[in-house]
């Protein structure tokens, strides 16, 4: 078997993942998360065909903890559901009242 | 020296990188060791009195906005010096001139042997402040969205009738140009236009303004956007402006060079690299205190790439933590794809392209020969 070129190869979702409907993907990830108490308060809002999974966390996690916490969760989901999963949080919009006048919205 | 422009004060590289002058760090990185960033780009606040329509800060909101005290900023300088950071630019996601820490930070960094550069709109950068910081700065770059007062005010403020912001900026730039000459300061002064296709008519007025002001350069660069196109930058329309951009460069004089960042503009928002090595050499810190590998990741969306906040803990502790290495390694792994998982044309673009080409064997980095260019500690 030819080894992938690590300079260019990126994990992508398997066929299994892409064949599920968006709702089935959300359910699958949410069901896994709900089994773990450490992931309480995490709600899956989007699970795209391309592996991008968006979650909402209702409590704040300190800046020095959130990175590793989410990367570890992502590794678990990759291992147990699909290797192409990548985790993102819901974006926060610009809090500058002046710039808000421009009407730019952070897209998802 | 790639893409260097000869100025009266030396070779100026704006459309490339300077990794060859920091080959010690390249070698360390190549052997798999953790390296101190050569440069850090940061802000002392996320506040800003402008409302530029091209501003990437609109998509960089993190979870929290922490106020950076002067003592936090000075501790940060000490940590930079201890770790081996060589240059700090105050750009990032806020207008640092508004911070109380602005003057002490620059003076302290300068005395610690760290080069400091600053990008500003210049609105709150008045004579007293200029005199306190200019002797300690390596460069100052003024954001200047257009060459005419009305368009400048429309793009950067509330509307074309608010030309008072243009007048204030010009007055302060002129004062800095005069002070530099009077005191024979080494600082480089430039103005920058962040080009969106709808500003095409301002390319030539911008170049003429740079020449009229007598600054050392006027640079025109692309506009970044996030991977979802939140700012609506139409990269396919940049090609229509190539003629005007060439015309603008031709307006260069002996005193003032007009420079177009062609490499980034021609990339049209799509990098050649998948792995993102650049942040290991050029780290970014938000004006909220958040430390993340790149400004591309400041928004709460990218929380998995947040390393800590230097207001809550010392930067040296963040740098020496497992978080720091895990996150940097993640960006350099097949788990991350710079082409699909982040915005376009980050500040680390040139460095990332060069490091990626080095890893792939497309073009190996080699140690620099000859004199260093200007601003060598700003990659």
Tally of CB atoms within 10 A around A90: 17
Q: What is the pLDDT of residue B57?
A: 80
By C-alpha distance, which of A69, A107, A33, A65 is closest to B299? A107
Q: Is A1 on the interface with B (CB under 8 A)?
A: no
Cα three-residue angle B203-B204-B208, rounded to 5 degrees = 120
d(CA B370, CA B299): 41
Residue appearing with tokens 């497992």: B322
Judge whether B283 and B92 are in contact, CB under 8 Å: no
Look-up of token digits 């989410």 = A70
pLDDT at B338 over 70: yes
User: pLDDT for B265-292, tens place per residue?
Assistant: 887 778 899 999 999 999 999 999 999 9
Q: Is A97 on the interface with B (CB under 8 A)?
A: no
Rg (CA), chain A: 16
Q: Which of B124, B134, B147 is closest to B48 using CA atoms? A: B124
Which ipTM did the prediction report?
0.93
Interval B69-80: pLDDT, tens: 999 999 999 999
Phi/psi of residue B66, each to 5°?
-95, 140
Find chain B residues with C-beta within 8 A of A66's C-beta: 303-304, 306
Residue A79 touches partner B, C-beta closer than 8 Å: no
Selection from B122, B163, B156, B117 nearest residue B140 by Cα = B117
Give the residue from A79, A96, A108 with the most B CB atoms within 10 Å of its CB, the best one to mutate. Answer: A96
pLDDT tens string A55-77: 999 888 999 999 999 999 999 99
Instruction: Please determine, for residue A104, whether its predicted confidence score (pLDDT) is greater than 90.
Output: no
How does strand B39-42 pair with strand B87-90? Answer: parallel
Q: Which helix (H) or strand (E) holds B91?
A: none
* CA–CA separation, B332 and B341 (whole Å): 13
Q: Give the pLDDT of residue B18.
A: 95
Under DSSP, is residue A47 helix (H, G, I), strand (E, B) or coil? strand
Q: Is A42 helix (H, G, I), strand (E, B) or coil?
A: strand
Structural contact between residues B9 and B257, judged by C-beta atoms closer than 8 angstroms:
no
Return the residue in A67, A86, A92, A98 with the most chain B beta carbons within 10 A, the one to mutate for interface testing.
A67
Spatial distance between the Cα atoms of B31 and B373, rounded to a whole number of angstroms: 26
Report helix angle A63-80 to B322-331, nearest 10.
Answer: 50
* Segment B322-331, tens digit of pLDDT: 999 999 999 9
- Among B46, B216, B204, B190, smallest CA distance to B119 is for B190
β-pairing, B4-7 with B257-260?
unpaired
Both structure tokens of B92: 């990032």
Over residues A6-20, the pLDDT tens digits come to 888 999 999 999 999
**φ and ψ at residue B375, rounded to 5 degrees:** 55, 40
What three-state secondary structure class fits B233?
coil
- B16 or A96, which is more confident? B16
The confidence band for A2, taking pLDDT boundaries of 50, 70 and 90, is: low
For residue B90, which phi and psi values (nearest 5 degrees)? Answer: -95, 90
pLDDT: which is higher, B188 or A101:
B188
Rounded to two decimals, the pTM is: 0.94
- Nearest-Cα residue of chain A relative to residue B228: A107
B278 and B346 Cβ atoms separated by less than 8 Å: yes
Inter-residue contact B137 to B97 (CB < 8 Å) = no
User: Which residues lie below 8 Å from residue B193, measured CB to CB, with a gap of 6+?
Assistant: B144, B145, B146, B199, B202, B203, B206, B218, B219, B220, B221
CA dihedral B332, B335, B338, B339 (to 10 degrees): 140
Determine contact, residues B95/B45, Cβ cutoff 8 Å. Answer: yes
Q: How far is A87 from chain B (nearest CA, A)?
A: 8
pLDDT at B108: 98
Q: pLDDT at position B2, please? A: 66
Q: Please, are residues B40 and B77 in contact by the beta-carbon 8 Å criterion?
A: no
Residue with tokens 């095409």: B200
pLDDT at site B354: 96
Cβ B334–A9 below 8 Å, yes or no? yes
Looking at per-residue confidence, does B361 or A91 come out higher?
B361
Contact at 8 Å (CB) between B172 and B125?
yes
Give the number of C-alpha atoms closer than 13 A to the C-alpha of residue B111, restricted to the C-beta side: 8
Cβ distance A88 to B301 less than 8 Å, yes or no, reads yes
- B228: pLDDT strictly greater than 70: yes
State the pLDDT at residue A107.
74
Question: Nearest 5 degrees, angle CA B196-CA B201-CA B204?
Answer: 105
pLDDT over threshold 60, residue B1 = no
Rounded mean pLDDT of B224-252? Answer: 90
What is the band of B264 on the pLDDT scale with cuts at 50, 70, 90?
confident
pLDDT of residue B117: 98
Average model confidence (pLDDT) across chain B:
94
């Amino acid at each position: 078997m030819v080894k992938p070129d690590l300079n260019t190869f990126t994990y992508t979702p398997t066929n299994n993942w892409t064949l599920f409907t968006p709702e089935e993907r959300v359910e699958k990830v949410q069901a896994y998360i709900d089994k773990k108490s450490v992931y309480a308060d995490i709600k899956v809002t989007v699970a795209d065909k391309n592996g991008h999974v968006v979650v909402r966390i209702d409590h704040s996690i300190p800046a020095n903890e959130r990175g590793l916490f989410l990367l570890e969760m992502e590794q678990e989901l990759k291992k147990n559901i699909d290797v192409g999963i990548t985790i993102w949080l819901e974006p926060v919009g610009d809090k500058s009242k002046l710039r808000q006048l421009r009407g730019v919205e952070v897209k998802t | 020296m790639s893409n260097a422009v000869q100025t009266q004060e030396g070779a100026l590289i704006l459309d490339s990188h300077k990794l060859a002058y920091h080959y010690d760090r390249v070698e360390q990185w190549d052997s798999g060791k953790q390296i101190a960033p050569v440069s850090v780009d940061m802000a002392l606040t996320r506040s800003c009195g402008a409302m530029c329509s091209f501003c990437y800060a609109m998509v960089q909101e993190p979870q929290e906005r922490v106020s950076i005290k002067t003592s936090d900023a000075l501790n940060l300088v000490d940590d930079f010096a201890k770790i081996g950071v060589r240059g700090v630019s105050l750009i990032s996601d806020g207008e640092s001139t508004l911070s109380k820490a602005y003057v002490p930070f620059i003076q302290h960094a300068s005395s610690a042997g760290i080069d400091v550069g600053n990008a500003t709109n210049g609105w709150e950068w008045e004579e007293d402040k200029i005199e306190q910081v200019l002797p300690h700065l390596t460069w100052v770059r003024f954001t200047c969205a257009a060459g005419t007062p009305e368009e400048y005010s429309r793009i950067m403020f509330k509307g074309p009738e608010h030309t008072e912001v243009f007048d204030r900026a010009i007055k302060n730039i002129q004062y800095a140009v005069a002070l530099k000459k009077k005191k024979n300061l080494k600082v480089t002064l430039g103005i920058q236009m962040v080009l969106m296709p709808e500003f095409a008519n301002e390319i030539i007025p911008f170049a003429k303004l740079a020449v009229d002001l007598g600054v050392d350069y006027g640079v025109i660069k692309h506009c970044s956007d996030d991977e979802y196109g939140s700012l609506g930058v139409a990269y396919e329309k940049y090609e229509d402006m190539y003629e005007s951009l060439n015309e603008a460069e031709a307006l260069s004089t002996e005193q003032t060079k007009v420079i177009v960042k062609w490499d980034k503009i021609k990339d049209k928002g799509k990098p050649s690299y998948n792995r993102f090595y650049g942040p290991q050499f050029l780290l970014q810190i938000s004006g909220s205190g958040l430390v993340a590998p790149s400004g591309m990741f400041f928004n709460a969306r990218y929380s998995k790439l947040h390393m800590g906040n230097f207001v809550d803990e010392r930067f040296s502790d963040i740098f020496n933590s497992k978080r720091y290495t895990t996150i940097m390694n993640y960006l350099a792994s097949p788990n991350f794809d710079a082409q699909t998982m982040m915005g376009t044309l980050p500040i680390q673009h040139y460095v990332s392209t060069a490091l990626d080409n080095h890893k792939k064997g497309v073009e190996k980095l080699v140690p620099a020969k000859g004199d260093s260019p200007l601003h060598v500690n700003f990659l």
